[in-house]
């Protein structure tokens, strides 16, 4: 449980919001309405069957056992068979209703789960910067899962209502007057349900909040154990955990008390009170007229049928609330409009030569802090442009704007003299290859990590790409070679190996433009040499924009831009910049290679 949970649980969602969430969620289940309604129809059939059996037994009791009207073994057996048939059909209806409803809910929630996942992929990087990955995983999986209980609540509720209606219909066929009298219990039932809902909702919310707090505390203490022990803070943590643990216990105990006060014991007491009504009514009646055994049997059974499913609904209040909160958060994601930057409507230009021009580009992530100011440069086809500067100088932001990860505010970015927004996004992704600083490896194998979903890439192309970047050597040493398993995050592969695979991933698509965010990871000297060699090869015949952390690797760049606080403060070739004796020169000197002949 993340701390974000606790903040949601800490405050209640306004009623109006709750209704909106309920309505929206119910609407989202619409594609599966046939199944839902089918389940409900079966549920109605169940309720009627449930009402029929006591009625028949009552008749049997009164007519044959009490009044002994021409009772034969045959009559007894046929009534027994009739009741058996009804009750077995009731059982079948019960099973079908539960099964279809659960399956319908499953389809509906999985549908929403896919919607959330799909939605995430339409959102921009900005969104992912702001929302912790862990909470998104919770949204996609846990929150959607708790929607099952949300719908189950509705089912149970309709079920209870139908059972009640069924029971009252059954009673009506026995005695109209007594049935009317029995309606007295309805307000009590509704009242106790409402009372419980009132009490439990805030208690439950409080308990959930304490629980997520508690779990967060455990998780954090385990992850940070080194620090805790190193600074000898175990006692402080034990104490503060004891406090959190105690708070959760208290919250939970309060919930237990509320349940004990208002749930099962209450429902049973109401049933007992209703029974008194039956006794009184028929008892008094018996003093003036004949009352049959079947009638009493029927009424006591019907009362049971009314009260017993009640508890299951009340038990679903808390899960329902959980579902509501989850739904609220899911809808929050689905309504998020931090979309990835959009292309122009009829963007269909392609990238053919690979010329890049930044013209007066201003760029900000949040609309307040200007990151790039009036950035201008041109990279001709085949050129290498290197970006140099401190952390925060705008190097990564330049690439983020160029890759369309974020929207820039003003100015133009032109590729092959077309506005970048007029180029089909598909072409941008195809023709511009970005090699990330921290190459991400996906679960699968080497080949799937190079191919990355593009099935048009053949095995030969994968191999050729790996050979081209010099990754084939370590790949062929792996068991299974190109089909060697890759775990998520690529554990088991060194930083250098991951770099090489990500090179292959970019090169296999033969991009016109190569964008390099040079890695800072520590790799051994041998791999480093390999990486440098393949970088050199990759850059040939491609326009390259490189963020350089090692000046030695970009000395041959056609243009070096020195960025400082989002502005180009120096530009030129390596030699020119050295002669300038400015920032670049300082950086270079700091490295101590000014005297180095190569």
Site for another protein in 64-103 (CB under 8 A): 64-66, 68, 71, 76-77, 79-81, 83-84, 87-88, 90-92, 94-96, 98-99, 102-103
505 interacts with another protein by CB under 8 A: yes
Minimum gap (Å) between residue 252 Cβ and another protein: 5
For 435, the enclosing helix (H) or strand (E) is: strand 432-435
Contacting another protein within 230-249 (CB under 8 A): 230-234, 236-238, 241-242, 245-246, 248-249
Report 353-382 residues binding another protein (CB under 8 A): 364-366, 369, 371
Of 17, 69, 129, 556, the one binding another protein (CB under 8 A) is 129
Choose one: 23-31, 186-194, 396-404, 574-582; the region binding another protein (CB under 8 A). Answer: 396-404
In angstroms, the Cα distances linking 452 to 123, 479, 504, 535 are 20, 21, 11, 21
Query: Which of 10, 225, 342, 536 lies at the binding interface for another protein (CB under 8 A)?
Result: 225
**Among positions 166, 439, 470, 496, the unique one binding another protein when judged by CB under 8 A:** 439
Confirm or reject binding of residue 125 to another protein (CB under 8 A): yes
- Length of the chain equals 598
Q: Please choose, from the candidates 548, 443, 434, 439, the residue with its C-alpha nearest in 3D space to the C-alpha of residue 496.
A: 439
What mask, x for binding another protein by CB under 8 A, covers residues 400 to 419?
x--x-xx-------------
CA distance linking residue 308 with residue 88, whole number of Å? 20
Inter-residue contact 498 to 441 (CB < 8 Å): yes
Site size with another protein, rule: CB under 8 A: 173
Q: Site map for another protein, 535-554, x if CB under 8 A?
A: ------------xxxxxx--
Output phi, psi for 227, to 5 deg. -65, -45
- Report the nearest approach of another protein to the CB of residue 505 (Å): 7
The candidate with the shortest Cα–Cα distance to 577, out of 592, 565, 589, is 589
| Interface region with another protein, contact rule CB under 8 A, candidates 11-19, 347-355, 466-474, 514-522 | 514-522
- Contacts to another protein from residues 134-173, by CB under 8 A: 134, 136-137, 140-141, 145
Strand partners, 514: 433, 544
Spell out the alpha helix ranges (H) of 123-184: 125-130, 133-138, 144-145, 147-174, 176-182
Report 293-352 residues binding another protein (CB under 8 A): 293, 296-297, 300-301, 304, 340
The backbone region for 71, taken as left when phi is positive above 0, alpha when psi lies in -120 to 50, beta otherwise, is: beta
With respect to another protein, which residue has the nearer C-beta, 131 or 165?
A: 131
Identify which of 584, 522, 512 has the alpha carbon closest to the alpha carbon of residue 542.
512
Helix H or strand E encompassing 585: helix 583-591
Q: Which residues pair with 356 in a beta bridge?
A: 379, 415
Task: For the CB of residue 54, give the shortest distance to another protein in the complex, in Å.
Answer: 9
**Between 300 and 380, whose beta carbon lies closer to another protein?**
300
Find the distance separating the first CA and the last CA of the chain, reported in whole Å: 55
Measured from the CB atom, is 153 or 248 closer to another protein?
A: 248
Q: What is the smallest separation between the CB atom of 86 and another protein, expressed in angstroms?
A: 9
- For 547, phi then psi, to 5°, come to -85, 120
Closer to another protein by Cβ: residue 24 or 233: 233
The burial of 575, by beta-carbon neighbours within 10 Å (0-12 exposed, 13-18 middle, 19 or more buried), is given as: exposed
CA separation for the pair 322, 147 (Å, rounded): 8
Positions in 573-592 near another protein (CB under 8 A):
587-588, 590-592
Asked whether position 33 contacts another protein by CB under 8 A, the answer is no
195 lines the binding site for another protein (CB under 8 A): no
- Minimum CB–partner distance for residue 489 and another protein (Å): 7
How far apart (Å, rounded) are the C-alpha atoms in residues 346 and 118? 23
* Residue 500 in the binding site for another protein (CB under 8 A): no
By beta-carbon proximity to another protein, the closer residue of 90 and 544 is 90
Name the strand (E) or helix (H) holding 439: none
Nearer to another protein, 2 or 173 (CB): 2
Instruction: For residues 404 and 425, give the distance between their C-alpha atoms in angstroms, rounded to a whole number.
Output: 9
């Amino acid at each position: 449980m993340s701390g974000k949970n606790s903040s949601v649980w800490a405050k209640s969602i306004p009623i109006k919001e709750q209704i909106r969430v309920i309505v929206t969620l119910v609407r989202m289940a619409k594609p599966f309405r046939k199944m839902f309604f089918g389940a409900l129809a079966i549920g109605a059939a169940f309720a009627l069957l449930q009402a029929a059996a006591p009625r028949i037994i009552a008749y049997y009791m009164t007519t044959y056992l009490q009044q002994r009207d021409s009772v034969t073994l045959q009559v007894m057996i046929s009534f027994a068979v009739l009741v058996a048939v009804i009750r077995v059909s009731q059982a079948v209806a019960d099973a079908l209703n539960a099964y279809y409803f659960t399956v319908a809910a499953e389809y509906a929630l999985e549908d929403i789960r896919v919607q959330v996942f799909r939605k995430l992929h339409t959102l921009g990087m900005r969104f992912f910067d702001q929302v912790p990955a862990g909470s998104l995983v919770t949204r996609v999986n846990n929150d959607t899962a708790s929607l099952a209980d949300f719908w189950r609540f509705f089912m149970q509720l309709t079920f209870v209502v139908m059972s009640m209606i069924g029971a009252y219909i059954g009673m009506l066929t026995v005695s109209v007057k007594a049935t009317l009298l029995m309606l007295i219990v309805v307000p009590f039932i509704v009242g106790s349900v409402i009372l419980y809902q009132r009490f439990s909702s805030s208690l439950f919310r409080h308990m959930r909040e304490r629980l997520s707090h508690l779990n967060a505390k455990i998780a954090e203490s385990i992850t940070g154990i080194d620090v805790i022990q190193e600074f000898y803070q175990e006692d402080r943590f034990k104490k503060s955990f004891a406090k959190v643990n105690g708070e959760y216990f208290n919250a939970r105990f309060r919930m237990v008390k509320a349940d004990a006060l208002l749930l099962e014991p209450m429902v049973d007491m109401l049933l007992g009170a209703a029974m008194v009504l039956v006794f009184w009514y028929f008892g008094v009646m018996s003093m003036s007229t004949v009352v049959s055994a079947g009638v009493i049997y029927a009424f006591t059974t019907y009362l049971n049928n009314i009260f017993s499913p009640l508890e299951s609904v009340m038990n679903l209040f808390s899960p329902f609330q959980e579902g509501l909160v989850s739904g609220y958060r899911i809808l929050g994601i689905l309504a998020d409009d931090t979309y990835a930057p959009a292309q122009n409507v009829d963007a269909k230009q392609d990238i053919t030569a690979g010329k890049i021009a930044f013209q007066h580009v201003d760029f900000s992530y949040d609309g307040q802090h200007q990151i790039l100011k009036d950035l201008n440069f041109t990279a001709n086809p085949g050129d290498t442009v290197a970006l140099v500067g401190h952390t925060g100088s705008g190097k990564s932001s330049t690439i983020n704007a160029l890759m369309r990860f974020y929207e820039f505010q003003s100015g133009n970015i032109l590729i092959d003299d077309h506005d970048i927004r007029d180029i089909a996004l598909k072409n941008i992704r195809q023709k511009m290859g970005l090699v990330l600083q921290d190459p991400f490896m996906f679960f699968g194998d080497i080949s799937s990590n190079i191919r990355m979903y593009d099935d048009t890439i053949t095995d030969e192309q994968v191999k050729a790409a790996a050979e081209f970047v010099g990754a084939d050597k370590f790949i062929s040493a792996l068991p299974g070679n190109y089909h060697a398993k890759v775990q998520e995050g690529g554990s088991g592969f060194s930083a250098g190996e991951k770099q090489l695979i990500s090179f292959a991933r970019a090169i296999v698509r033969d991009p016109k433009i190569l964008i390099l965010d040079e890695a800072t990871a520590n790799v051994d000297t041998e791999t480093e040499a390999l990486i440098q060699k393949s970088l050199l090869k990759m850059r040939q015949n491609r326009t390259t924009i490189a963020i350089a952390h090692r000046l030695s690797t970009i000395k041959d760049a056609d243009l070096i831009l020195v960025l400082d606080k989002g502005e180009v403060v120096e530009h030129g070739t390596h030699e020119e910049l050295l002669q300038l004796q400015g920032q670049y020169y300082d950086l270079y000197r700091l490295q101590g290679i000014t005297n180095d002949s190569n």
